[in-house]
A and B are shown apart, each in its own frame.
Chain A
């Protein structure tokens, strides 16, 4: 029976099956962060112990201070970072927190440290755990009760999801990025399109993506409703992984890569759902509404609800436009912004910062703009290349790593009514702060909007350097 990549990892991590069809999956890596505290409380309340401190890794990211000049910090933010430190000390797991040279957003630092390995099952109390599947793992976000279960048992009961294959063949056009690719998919299948599925990405356009780009695609898979995105390991991912701190080395690397070589869907494997997208039809994308599926090319116009046939959808568009303060048929490139944010687990990696810096080079920010590297390592690498100088010269603020303005639970937020061009993942009402208005786009497009004062097609700006 031919198998998908999902089948293979599922089988290898099955501890046992239950009569009702649920499977107890072994968790190879459990990432915890500073917003995971309620699960530790649950562990204490139930009198349980942390079963595998050696497979548990802590990362302070949600509540950590980024040093942003605009931050409105509350005392409990630092207290929650401290709570994670105390739990790490109490239970004896590795922690990357304030001051650590390897601290960062868990979905940036984890892969960077070689802690995310092909063929493993990875969970974390954060829906963007989908990111880690870019290295050929099965990775998904879980809630507090499930976190407590994993802490106490190192396993999780799951029903096998359906497998969807998204094949993207062809070549992405100039100035079109992984972010545009995933936004296009979300626009096509909707935020509920992947519900009940994992998505395996395939096709020449996916193979041509850098590791950073693949992490971006898998990261936002949750915005299409699928809990995991996956990409089979290949030369790109293996060479990216080779030599990382916790990646196997020497003879172990040889053995591991032999095993990982089998980690791909068989040629005749059957998927429950297939979706195809032509890469050359993808344009730089930007959202106009309050759901990631409300997305169109930057060359487009704000939709007119009057032209929507479905009454429910029409009402929703009207509601979104009211919230966003937009009028139908306005050219997307005429939308003025109040600030820009470049960072997050979606687009806070070195390649993202390079793309933003290329646009910012020699230009000036027209609105307050914040660049937040995804990890301390990304920050050092960017500074070694002088990207921070490019941003500073353009009047962008260069901060310390963290989830920052993407999640708006750490004091970094978009003030009520303000419109933000953001390289993040969610444009929900209030996501970046109460009353905030978010336009999702790629890092280059965010930088282009920052130096223009309005949304703009980054391809129309001459790129320096």
Chain B
């Protein structure tokens, strides 16, 4: 996993609530392997010509075509558990998503991949969007160590739990950390399946 400490980039506004993972990475792209990359999957149906919106999609036009930060609406990443949504964002070049709230599965998937999900109060998100609208191309700096978002003269702090922050900062593999405690897992298993042997399907035919 790519560590995350600090990132500065152009922020694109996506002021829409409930942006779901089907929209972020449509199903037809999911059959490819991780190594094949998912950049072109990102918002493919919004970026393409199939959309019914007269206006071009925000990420299709300068200065936002080089954006690396998204500022979005409530409940970002809802719906399907597909981690491809996070991969599509990262492969496209997005490192930070700022929103008033995130869907739980998406939030976890982000942390596992070095994409920083930043939860800010709705009014702060609105303020960032207003600032970007006033001067398109505005950059934002997200500093994970300081837990701060800086945009022009505006400085905001955000919450993230210490463990997840540490995991992102160091780019740690959670599997290795857990396997260090394998004896605890084994002890748990011995007790669990002694009490409830029926939980092992092969013993119930």
Contact = CB atoms under 8 A, between A and B. Distances in A.
Contacts of A48: 175, 179
A407 B105 CA distance: 18
8 contacts: A38-B33, A57-B201, A126-B80, A153-B185, A291-B20, A323-B52, A431-B22, A435-B50
B26 A249 contact: no
Contacts of B161: 20-22, 159
Contact of A20 (B79, B104, B163): B163
B81 interface: yes
Contacts, number: 192
Contacts of A153: 175, 178-179, 182, 185
Interface in B42-80: 45, 50, 52-53, 73-75, 78-80
Given A316-B16, A426-B22, 16 more contacts: A20-B163, A46-B175, A127-B81, A141-B81, A142-B105, A146-B112, A154-B185, A157-B174, A195-B75, A195-B103, A322-B53, A409-B28, A428-B23, A429-B45, A431-B22, A434-B26
A306 interface: no
Interface of A: 15-16, 18-22, 24, 26, 28-29, 35, 37-38, 41-42, 46, 48, 54-55, 57, 63, 74, 76-77, 80, 94, 114-115, 117, 119-120, 125-127, 141-146, 148-149, 152-155, 157, 159, 161, 191-192, 195-196, 222-223, 225, 227, 245-249, 252, 256, 259, 291, 293, 312, 316, 319, 322-323, 407-409, 416, 426, 428-431, 434-435
B79 A426 contact: yes
Contacts of A55: 199-201
Contacts of B153: none
Contact of B196 (A94, A259, A291): A259
A143 B108 contact: yes
Contacts of A434: 26, 28, 45, 50
B104 A191 contact: no
B81 A143 contact: yes
Contacts of B200: 54-55
A149 B52 contact: no
Interface string B140-167: 0000000000000000000001110000
A18 B23 contact: no
Interface residues of B, number: 61
A22 B18 CA distance: 27
Interface in B13-30: 15-18, 20, 22-23, 26-28, 30
Given A80-B31, A141-B105, A142-B105, A428 B15 contact: no
A291 B18 contact: yes
A246 B201 contact: yes
Contacts of B53: 319, 322
Contact of A428 (B20, B28, B83, B103): B20
B196 A256 contact: yes
A54 B178 CA distance: 20
B93 interface: no
B31 A143 contact: no
Contacts of B163: 18-20, 22
A272 to B, nearest CB: 15
Interface of B: 15-18, 20, 22-23, 26-28, 30-31, 33-34, 45, 50, 52-53, 73-75, 78-83, 86, 101-105, 108-109, 112-113, 161-163, 173-175, 178-179, 181-182, 184-185, 188-189, 192, 196-202, 204-205
B31 A316 contact: no
Contacts of B101: 192, 195
Given A46-B173, A94-B201, A430-B22, A35 B109 contact: no
A249 B112 contact: no
A240 B82 CA distance: 32
- Interface centre among A35, A48, A80, by most B CB within 10 Å? A35
Contacts of B26: 430, 434
A35 B30 contact: yes
A143 B22 contact: no
Nearest to A113: B201
A114 B197 CA distance: 14
B16 A252 contact: no
Contacts of A38: 33-34, 83
Nearest to A226: B104
A71 B169 CA distance: 46
Contact of B50 (A29, A152, A416): A416
B178 A149 contact: yes
A299 B205 CA distance: 49
A310 to B, nearest CB: 11
A372 to B, nearest CB: 16
Contacts of B20: 291, 426, 428
Nearest to A52: B189
B178 A157 contact: yes
Given A143-B86, A143-B112, A145-B83, A120 B199 contact: yes
A127 B178 contact: no
A54 B200 CA distance: 7
Contact of B105 (A15, A46, A127): A127
Nearest to A403: B27
A252 B197 contact: yes
B153 to A, nearest CB: 26
A143 B50 contact: no
Contacts of A57: 201
A149 B196 contact: no
Contacts of A19: 163
Contact of B104 (A120, A227, A259): A227
A115 B199 CA distance: 8
A29 B201 CA distance: 9
Given A141-B105, A322-B52, A428-B79, A248 B34 contact: no
A330 to B, nearest CB: 18
A142 to B, nearest CB: 6
A144 B112 CA distance: 9
Contact of A117 (B45, B112, B199): B199
A249 B205 CA distance: 9
Nearest to A293: B18
B23 A429 contact: yes
